[in-house]
Structure 1
Amino acid sequence: MRTAYSVETVRTAERVLMARLPEGALMQRAAAGLAAACADLLGRVYGSRVVLLVGSGDNGGDALYAGARLARRGAGVTAVLLTPERAHAGGLAALRRAGGSVAAAGAGEGLVAGADLVVDGIVGIGGKGGLRAEAVPLAEAARRSRAAVVAVDLPSGVDADTGQVHGAAVRADLTVTFGTHKPGLLIDPAREYAGSVRLVDIGLELPDGAVLEALQHADVARLLPVPAVESDKYRRGVVGIAAGSARYPGAAVLAVSGALRGGAGAVRYVGPAGDAVIARFPETLVSDRGPKRAGRVQAWVVGPGAGDDAGPVAEVLAADVPVLVDADGLRLADPGAVRRRTAPTLMTPHAGEAAALLGVSREEVEGARLAAVRELAGRYGAAVLLKGSTTLVAGRDGGTVRVNATGTSWLATAGSGDVLSGLVGSLLAAGLSAVDAGSAGAYLHGLAGRFAADGAPVGAHDVADAIPGAWRDVRGVG
């Protein structure tokens, strides 16, 4: 599992470690890791042209010391100092001793244009807001150049704690981060500025309670339900799907398709699209008598393609089992009924739906995804899965948020979210918590999207069909 910690926690851990180490040792560790990553990216260090963009903080010092290491290996290294009077003195001296040179910011654009590698050491993880005016031309020059761009700890101009980007920021091909991931490296929009991320261990001792968690294969494998010898379809869990309408019968079919592949033993469908569902999936238990009279279930999914019929949503929310609310269900659900529930509730909006629930613009949600998912969870007293390029899952308690990035842009297709709802609902019925079901479901769904697309357009039904392959891949089976 990858974890990300706040700037305050990282700074505290750094101070504790520095108190035990010789002066400057921690920066040397960071610089060594940074230089190694730069060398790997260059391939051939000797004779390469390296430009360091150096600000006034420790990031600038890391860049200077790393530059000195590269200069000793035969690279031509030039440091462009944005604030010469505040540049890290020790790092600057080390670079000069190694044969590196120094230039003023005014010469930076030309140097960047001819570089093989640009190292962004402008602003550290404590920076807020976009780049200052004098740094913007350098960031733009780096973007236009053929040089590879390496960010030190975090691309300058992005917010380490929130993933927000206010104004201009450096776009890196590689970010070398120290000690732990920072939330901004895992959450869009900042994540797309970071490029690939390489974590360098510098010996930090970090407490429990990370701000973000990102599950990996082994973590998801431990969560996935596996039937025991004595299992039957009811012991494995039954998930109810209250979805679809005369206008949107396909949403019901797609939600059922996800549910059938999610680990529950049986799927009950309730709604007006029963004929379409049974024609595609004859194993489904179909009813037209409403959620209350559909039979026993261990979890409900309500809302995909529901249109304007609020009755099934109200019935499902009154049930004393875990409930996933998606799509039209989010609009039709009574907020008070959601807050009064004692059984687990998981809401699964995309950015537009989240914006409507919060009364803000879609752009505000997309620009501050971490704040949005926390606000929704707190306001509704429910777990929330905020869909998007980096899907976030927040528990109702406002604790650690999980982030998932297994998906692909090809998943931005009609019905994909319906498949996800069915898949996650099935995991809820199999006994997973709301956060675990949402996290594992998003991981599998994203992976299935990658497998189905393989670089080409796909439909939602293709994603559903690829879920078993993603499941086997996660569990290392087959």
Structure 2
Amino acid sequence: MRHAHRVEIVRASEAELMARLPEGTLMQRAAAGLAATCARLLTGRRGRVYGSRVVVLAGSGDNGGDALYAGAALARRGARVTAVLLAPERVHAGGLAAVRSARGRVVVERETGLAEFSRADLVLDGIVGIGGRGGLRAGARSYAEAARRGVVVAVDLPSGVDADTGEVPGAALRADVTVCFGTYKPGLLVDPGASYAGAVQLVGIGLELPPPDVTALQHADVAALLPVPDVESDKYRRGVVGVAAGSATYPGAAVLAVAGALRGGAGAVRYVGTAAEEVVRRFPETLVTEGGPHGAGRVQAWVVGPGGGEGARQTLAEALASDVPVLVDADGLTELGRLGPGALAGRTAPTLLTPHTGEAARLLAGADGTAPPAAADLAAARLATARRLAAAYRATVLLKGSTTVIADPGGAVRVNPTGTSWLATAGSGDVLAGLAGSLLAAGLPALDAASVAAYLHGLAGRHAAGEPGAPVTASWVAEALPVVWRGVREG
């Protein structure tokens, strides 16, 4: 599992460690790991470090110092290093001295720096560190806009990205590789910041850290959470998931939600709704019950809302009146936004909400009675949006988008590292809802069910799209779920 910590926590841990170490030790550890990564990249691209053109973009403070010390290490291996000082009066003195001692070149002129930047084999982005806010200033902005041919390595964080949120409020330097120190930063794991980070590599520097602010599951974590039947299992012991979805206008939503649910670990799927004929024709193993959730018989979780149409409000009310976990999606979310958080008051079983940013805007408006915020603003601040929704509704929230963020009302936050832009296709969310609902019925807590579902759904999208990627349908994504499930279990 990847662990990410806020800047405040990182700073405190660094200060505590530095108080116990000789001066400069922490920076030397970071610079050594950074230089080693750069050397591997140069060797892979050019076959050697010797003779490579390396540019160090050095801002003020310790981030620039890390970059300068790493540049000095590369210079001692024969690289032709040019240090471009963006704040000469505040440059890290020790790092600058190291570059000069290693016979590196130092420039302060903007035109010279840009010329070196454009022809470098490797650029070290040490302009702004994890404390930076508000995007790049005018002097550094030209580097974000300039053409370049070499690989850009960000020092701890791409300059211009907010370390805590992933927000990019202005110009930012796009990296091919980011080398982060001690722990991941939340902004490296969530868009839009994640899209600027490239491949992220962690260098340990000995920090002692508290529990993380944000986590991201990996294969081993998901494999450990997948429900596996034992020798005494039957379909009811494995869990029954109820799916209340579809309408005369959107019968396909029911079919797709059931498709995801059948592949999600529960032992049986019970369907209620107007699309029973279409569902049974496609999936004859589905249990069909007339009426709504209230009279459907025993289930261990409900999925309500995909393609729900005019009956969504009654269906939602019946499902929420049950004492089992309920996943609310699509039209169910629209109705919940009209009702507000009071509709969930008194529920003792978990509730999982699965909005995209447009639905999130309506839910937030329903929570405080104001006009819906702009979906684009919510997308740019995904961590904050998911946390706000989870707190307002006292529910677990799976916020869909380029980075899926899962937050629970207790404050835990996870981001999903899998997926592909080809998943932006009709019905994809219905499959995800069914899959997550099935995992709830199989016994996973809401945070785990949402996280595992997002992870598998993202892998299935990648598998269906193939390499380098091609259009997919939601049905193909559902069909790929058993393949990726097996792949995760096999490691």
Give me the TM-score of the superposition, normalised by structure 1.
0.98
Shift, 1:113, TM fit: 1.3
Shift, 1:458, TM fit: 1.1
The alignment-based identity, stated in percent, is 71
**C-alpha contact 1:4 1:181 (8 A) present in aligned 2:** yes
Which of 476, 480, 484 is the equivalent residue of 1:462? 476
| 1:276-355 matches, cutoff 5 A | 276-309=278-311, 310-333=313-336, 334-335=339-340, 336-355=342-361
**C-alpha contact 2:272 2:291 (8 A) present in aligned 1:** yes
Q: Deviations over 1:253-280 (max 9, x none)?
A: 0000000000101100000000000000
Shift, 1:115, TM fit: 1.1
Cα distance in structure 2, aligned partners of 1:154 and 1:461 = 38
5+ long unaligned stretches in structure 1 = none
Which residue does 1:134 correspond to in 2? 139
Q: Does 1:204 align with 2:207?
A: yes
| 1:417-428 matches, cutoff 5 A | 417-428=429-440
- Three-state SS of the structure 2 residue aligned to 1:340 is coil
Length, aligned pairs only: 473
Cα distance in structure 1, aligned partners of 2:160 and 2:57 = 13
**C-alpha contact 2:57 2:84 (8 A) present in aligned 1:** yes
AA of the residue aligned to 1:392: V
5+ long unaligned stretches in structure 2 = 365-371
**C-alpha contact 1:339 1:382 (8 A) present in aligned 2:** no
Which residue does 1:444 correspond to in 2? 456
AA of the residue aligned to 2:438: S
Cα distance in structure 2, aligned partners of 1:450 and 1:169 = 28
Q: Does 1:372 align with 2:378?
A: no
Which of 435, 451, 475 is the equivalent residue of 2:489? 475
**C-alpha contact 1:308 1:332 (8 A) present in aligned 2:** no
Which residue does 2:159 correspond to in 1? 156
AA of the residue aligned to 2:356: H
**C-alpha contact 2:217 2:417 (8 A) present in aligned 1:** no
Cα distance in structure 1, aligned partners of 2:20 and 2:291 = 69
Q: Deviations over 1:250-308 (max 9, x none)?
A: 00000000000001011000000000000000000112211111111000000000013
- Three-state SS of the structure 2 residue aligned to 1:308 is helix
Cα distance in structure 1, aligned partners of 2:310 and 2:130 = 47
Taking structure 1 as reference, are residues 105 and 304 closer, same or farther at Cα in structure 2, changes over 3 Å only?
farther
Cα distance in structure 2, aligned partners of 1:105 and 1:11 = 32
**C-alpha contact 1:389 1:409 (8 A) present in aligned 2:** yes
**C-alpha contact 2:306 2:332 (8 A) present in aligned 1:** yes
Cα distance in structure 1, aligned partners of 2:131 and 2:71 = 22
AA of the residue aligned to 1:416: S
Shift, 1:105, TM fit: 4.2
**C-alpha contact 2:257 2:431 (8 A) present in aligned 1:** yes
Cα distance in structure 2, aligned partners of 1:240 and 1:75 = 63
| 1:358-397 matches, cutoff 5 A | 358=364, 359-397=372-410
Cα distance in structure 1, aligned partners of 2:59 and 2:106 = 13
**C-alpha contact 2:329 2:353 (8 A) present in aligned 1:** yes
Q: Which runs of 4+ in 1 moved over 2 A?
A: none
Q: Does 1:412 align with 2:417?
A: no
AA of the residue aligned to 2:454: A
Q: Deviations over 1:393-452 (max 9, x none)?
A: 10112x220110211111111101100000000000011111010001111111111111
AA of the residue aligned to 1:364: D
Which of 227, 230, 233 is the equivalent residue of 1:228? 230
The alignment's C-alpha RMSD in Å is 1.0
Cα distance in structure 2, aligned partners of 1:256 and 1:285 = 10
Which residue does 1:57 correspond to in 2? 61
Q: Deviations over 1:215-238 (max 9, x none)?
A: 111111111111111111111100
Give me the TM-score of the superposition, normalised by structure 2.
0.95
